């Protein structure tokens, strides 16, 4: 499949990298056998590696580049800001303008605080929920990825040997050394199972500060939440004095004010990241004014000190505001329509080939699974060893066909794409699945 002899520069870089970085990279998503791919340049929806291979980029830096690479308007705006400065201890007008823009997109966003990553946004949201309610426990769905914060990552990597009974899923640590009190303060609920979820929540109702909800968790299968599941959690927090925290780090792309609007949800706090940075590191915590005011050191309800050296730096604010102003309803409809075309055509290909594969997703994202029936939750998503190996082979064959996916088999549409790119994606899926047989 063209490796490793066809990638001499990448191989050489990797040999240098492993001497100075664990695994040869700073994030696990880049690490692969026999070595990572190294980008040389990118423009629009295409990326070229250091060995000269050009591919259509459906990974888009883990779904963060809604306008693809090097969008002219973003490049121009950032270049102009760079001449004015990159960061300072003073606030900037563009921070105010960006906050106004985000708040205008969703009535649930009454006030907003900017941070530097989706992980940090989720962390801040959970700390705010604890401060506001005076409770310590956090509830989250099994298998859902919410970043690196200890309390948010519990049971993200749960597997059959340790995930426990479905009526009482275990709190499974991701990192060795996670303190037991952290595990004790995370209530794990099944995803897309409202009856079991509510029964578990009821058992600890007076201790739960919030329910953390991603309505389409990537690592749990990119399976959309059922309306019944989402509404059951919304009702439960309302009846039990807890808060609903929406993780929209990925799903904010799905509609103008985030996927929560499609479900009719009214979260108390929302964590955002990825596309709102315009290609730069970013996070945002948005929510009800009386909750967000806990971060105001000049206010009467100051309970949560929160600051960061690079939070709301003007380069990120400029790139993010430009990107989000460009991401209007017409662009949202465009990428969502392309994803719908892709999913329909991939399903047709799977049926024609009789391949043991399926597709999940919603909005402008999709994920291809090496199982015949689309999963609905983490336990159904968890692959057996044979399926995991097929997925690895499928991913590599897609690379050979000129398509870059997220290594989970997921893809994210960007606004520079058109039907021609979807046709190339589907053709590559056809070739790759056929080769696996």
CATH of the domain at 133: 3.40.640.10
Cβ(436)–Cβ(397) below 8 Å:
yes
Q: Which of 3-7, 177-181, 287-291, 417-421 has the lowest mean pLDDT?
A: 3-7
The number of folded domains in the chain is 2
Mean pLDDT in residue range 323-351: 98
Rounded percentage of the chain residues whose pLDDT exceeds 70:
99
Q: Does residue 32 lie within any of the structural domains?
A: no
Q: How many CA atoms lie within 13 A of 422 on its CB side?
A: 24
- Residue finishing a domain among 295, 326, 357: 326
Q: Does residue 21 lie within any of the structural domains?
A: no
CA pair distance 436, 367, nearest whole angstrom: 18
Rounded to the nearest 5°, which phi and psi values hold at 157?
A: -110, 25
* Average confidence score pLDDT of the chain: 96
Mean pLDDT in residue range 198-226: 97
pLDDT confidence of residue 156: 95
Q: What does the pLDDT look like over 58-80, one tens digit per residue? A: 999 999 999 999 999 999 999 99
- Residue finishing a domain among 326, 344, 371: 326
Mean pLDDT in residue range 284-299: 97
Helix, strand, coil distribution of the chain in percent, nearest 5: 45, 15, 40
In the structure, what pLDDT confidence band is assigned to residue 31 with cuts at 50, 70 and 90? confident
In the structure, what pLDDT confidence band is assigned to residue 2 with cuts at 50, 70 and 90? very low
CA pair distance 366, 305, nearest whole angstrom: 38
Q: Does residue 100 lie within any of the structural domains?
A: yes
Going from the C-alpha of 105 to that of each of 253, 288, 327, 419, the distances in angstroms are 12, 14, 11, 28
Mean pLDDT in residue range 95-119: 98
Residue for token digits 């589907």?
426
In the structure, what pLDDT confidence band is assigned to residue 437 with cuts at 50, 70 and 90? confident
- Which range of residues forms the domain containing residue 87? 72-326
Cβ(212)–Cβ(220) below 8 Å:
no
Q: Does residue 320 lie within any of the structural domains?
A: yes
CA pair distance 394, 360, nearest whole angstrom: 16
pLDDT confidence of residue 4: 44
Q: Is the peptide bond before 4 cis (omega within 30 degrees of 0)?
A: yes
Q: Does residue 305 lie within any of the structural domains?
A: yes
In the structure, what pLDDT confidence band is assigned to residue 358 with cuts at 50, 70 and 90? very high
- Residue finishing a domain among 277, 298, 326: 326
Going by the DSSP 8-state scheme, the letter that residue 110 receives in this structure is S
- Tell me: pLDDT of 1 over 50: no
Say whether both 256 and 334 belong to one domain: no
- Tell me: pLDDT of 241 over 70: yes
Say whether both 117 and 159 belong to one domain: yes
Rounded to the nearest 5°, which phi and psi values hold at 51?
A: -95, 5
Q: Does residue 394 lie within any of the structural domains?
A: yes
Say whether both 289 and 386 belong to one domain: no
Cα 398 off chain centre by? 22
State the CATH number of the domain containing residue 418: 3.90.1150.10
Say whether both 251 and 381 belong to one domain: no
CA pair distance 245, 269, nearest whole angstrom: 5
pLDDT confidence of residue 433: 98
Say whether both 101 and 169 belong to one domain: yes
Cβ(394)–Cβ(436) below 8 Å:
yes
Say whether both 345 and 382 belong to one domain: yes
Cα 146 off chain centre by? 8
Mean pLDDT in residue range 44-69: 98
Going from the C-alpha of 163 to that of each of 160, 176, 188, the distances in angstroms are 6, 16, 10
Q: Does residue 18 lie within any of the structural domains?
A: no
Say whether both 104 and 91 belong to one domain: yes
pLDDT confidence of residue 33: 87
pLDDT confidence of residue 5: 54
Mean pLDDT in residue range 12-17: 94
Mean pLDDT in residue range 270-295: 98
Say whether both 62 and 127 belong to one domain: no
Say whether both 352 and 318 belong to one domain: no
In the structure, what pLDDT confidence band is assigned to residue 178 with cuts at 50, 70 and 90? very high
Say whether both 48 and 88 belong to one domain: no
Rounded percentage of the chain residues whose pLDDT exceeds 90:
96
Say whether both 374 and 257 belong to one domain: no
Q: Which of 18-32, 387-401, 415-429 has the lowest mean pLDDT?
A: 18-32
- Which bin fits 354, alpha (ψ -120 to 50), beta or left (φ > 0)? left
Structural tokens at position 257:
């004010």
Say whether both 76 and 202 belong to one domain: yes
């Amino acid at each position: 499949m063209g490796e490793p002899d066809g990638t001499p520069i990448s191989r050489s870089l990797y040999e240098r990298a492993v001497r100075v970085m664990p695994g040869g990279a700073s994030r696990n998503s880049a690490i692969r056998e026999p070595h990572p791919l190294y980008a040389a340049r990118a423009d629009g929806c295409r990326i070229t590696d250091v060995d000269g291979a050009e591919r259509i980029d459906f990974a888009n830096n883990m779904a963060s580049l809604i306008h693809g690479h090097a969008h002219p308007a973003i490049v121009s705006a950032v270049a102009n800001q760079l001449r004015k400065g990159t960061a300072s201890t003073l606030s900037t007008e563009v921070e105010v303008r960006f906050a106004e823009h985000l708040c205008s997109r969703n009535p649930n966003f009454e006030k907003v605080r900017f941070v530097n990553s989706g992980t940090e946004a989720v962390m801040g949201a959970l700390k705010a929920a604890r401060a506001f309610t005076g409770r310590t426990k956090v509830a989250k769905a099994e298998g859902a990825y919410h970043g690196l914060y200890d309390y948010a990552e519990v049971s993200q990597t749960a597997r059959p040997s340790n995930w426990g009974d479905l009526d009482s899923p275990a709190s499974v640590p991701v990192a060795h050394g996670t303190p037991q009190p952290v595990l004790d303060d995370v209530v794990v609920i099944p995803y897309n199972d409202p009856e079991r979820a509510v029964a578990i929540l009821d058992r600890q109702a007076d201790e739960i500060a919030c329910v953390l909800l991603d309505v389409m968790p990537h690592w749990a299968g990119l399976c959309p939440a059922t309306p019944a599941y989402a509404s059951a959690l919304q009702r439960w927090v309302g009846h039990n004095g807890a808060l609903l925290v929406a993780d929209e780090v990925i799903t904010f792309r799905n509609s103008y004010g985030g996927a929560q609007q499609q479900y009719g949800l009214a979260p108390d706090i929302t964590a955002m990241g990825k596309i709102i940075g315009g290609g730069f590191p970013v996070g945002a915590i948005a929510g009800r004014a009386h909750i967000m005011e806990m971060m105001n050191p000049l206010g009467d309800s100051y309970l949560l000190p929160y600051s960061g050296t690079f939070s709301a730096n003007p380069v990120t604010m400029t790139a993010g505001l430009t990107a989000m102003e460009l991401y209007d309803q017409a662009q949202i409809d465009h990428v969502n329509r392309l994803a719908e075309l892709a999913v329909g055509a991939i399903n047709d290909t799977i049926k024609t080939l009789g391949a043991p594969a399926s597709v999940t997703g919603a909005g402008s994202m999709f994920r291809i699974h090496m199982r015949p029936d689309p999963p609905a939750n983490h336990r159904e998503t968890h692959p057996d060893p044979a399926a995991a190996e097929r997925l690895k082979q499928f991913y590599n064959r897609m690379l050979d066909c000129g398509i870059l996916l997220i290594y989970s088999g997921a893809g994210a549409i960007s606004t520079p794409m058109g039907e021609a790119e979807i046709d190339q994606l589907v053709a590559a899926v056809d070739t790759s699945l056929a080769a696996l047989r």
